[in-house]
Amino acid sequence: MSINLEREKVTLPLEEVVQTKTTMLTKVLYGGMVVSMLAAFYFIFLYAEIEKTMGVVQKIFYMHVPSAWVAFLAFFVTFVFSILFLIKRKRIYDTYAYVSAEIGVVFTTIVLTTGPIWAKSSWNTWWAWEPRLTTTLILFFLYMAYLMVRQMDGVWDKKARLAAVFGIIGFADVPIVFFAIRWWQSKFHPIVFGDGPSQQGGGIAPSMLVALLVAITAFTFLYAYLLHKGVSFENMKIKVGHYKEKLRERLEH
């Protein structure tokens, strides 16, 4: 049922496959990303006040939290498109799920590298096996496995189905990562918003909140830009693959 899903659409001339023109959406996303990123740097370094206890090291927070947000968003998008793929079996949904998972892994890597730097400066240890850190590491490995499934040999739709199941199951870890410090005792990881069993949310100064929100906006634009670029590239790759197949058939006969 799901085999050769888009084969009927492969009769494109090569010129049509090779789309080198920059679309309006690409320009908007790129512009939005550059402007919001510059604004984020202004708000982080010139507008937001310096935290009294930690000093300037606290500014890692403005890269760490938006990266975590983008990773969660990316895995959510993978989750949604994996479900859509399993229901409708359209390759475009699988492409969105794959590209989004890859971006999610990139941003989880950022979270897992900036986190220990923060930890060393404030907790005097690079790593602690506490709930938030452990569940984030599990999340990273889950989606690494997802990407490895994509690299396997075999028919794409079988890989896509298996990856979609991974994408759906893997997402179960996202709320666990988020609520880990609110559900379980955590001596290290601070709660900023809301309360946990062992600590109360410390809140955040208004200027810091503004800087954080601008940084989150900038990272969201970056995610949207990368997703858009990645999906158009993957589509082009698929079309070139089909074109190759057609060409081989033609040359053989």
Partner 1 sequence: MGFMYAAYSIVWVIIFGYMLLIGKRHSSLKKDIEFLKQLDK
Q: Which residues have a Cβ under 8 Å from the Cβ of 27 and sit 6 or more positions away?
A: none
- Any idea which residue has 């370094």 for tokens? 45
Classify burial at 136, counting beta carbons within 10 Å of its beta carbon; exposed 0-12, middle 13-18, buried 19 or more: buried
Nearer to partner 1, 58 or 196 (CB): 58
Query: Does residue 247 belong to the site contacting partner 1 (CB under 8 A)?
Result: yes
Query: Does residue 121 belong to the site contacting partner 1 (CB under 8 A)?
Result: yes
Classify burial at 155, counting beta carbons within 10 Å of its beta carbon; exposed 0-12, middle 13-18, buried 19 or more: exposed
Residues 195-234 contacting partner 1, CB under 8 A: 222, 226, 229-230, 233
Q: Which of 51, 147, 236, 242 binds partner 1 (CB under 8 A)?
A: 236
Nearer to partner 1, 114 or 199 (CB): 114
- Judged by CB under 8 A, the number of residues near partner 1 is 33
Q: Which residues on neighbouring strands pair with residue 195, listed in sequence order?
A: 200
Nearer to partner 1, 1 or 251 (CB): 251
41-80 footprint of partner 1 as x/- string (CB under 8 A): --------------xxx-xx--xx--x-------------
Q: Which residues on neighbouring strands pair with residue 55, listed in sequence order?
A: 51
Nearer to partner 1, 32 or 230 (CB): 230
Token reading at 160: 């896509």
Query: Does residue 27 belong to the site contacting partner 1 (CB under 8 A)?
Result: no
Q: Yes or no: say if 114 and 136 are a contact pair by the CB < 8 Å rule.
A: no
Q: Which of 9, 27, 88, 237 binds partner 1 (CB under 8 A)?
A: 237
Tell me the C-alpha distance between 188 and 197, whole Å. Answer: 13
Tell me the C-alpha distance between 192 and 189, whole Å. Answer: 10
- Least separation in angstroms between residue 89's CB and partner 1 is 25
Query: Does residue 125 belong to the site contacting partner 1 (CB under 8 A)?
Result: no
Which among 40, 50, 47, 27 has a CA at the least distance from the CA of 70?
40
Classify burial at 11, counting beta carbons within 10 Å of its beta carbon; exposed 0-12, middle 13-18, buried 19 or more: exposed
- Least separation in angstroms between residue 251's CB and partner 1 is 8
Task: Name the site residues for partner 1 (rule: CB under 8 A).
Answer: 14, 17-18, 55-57, 59-60, 63-64, 67, 103, 106, 109-110, 113-114, 117-118, 120-121, 222, 226, 229-230, 233, 236-237, 240, 243-244, 247, 251
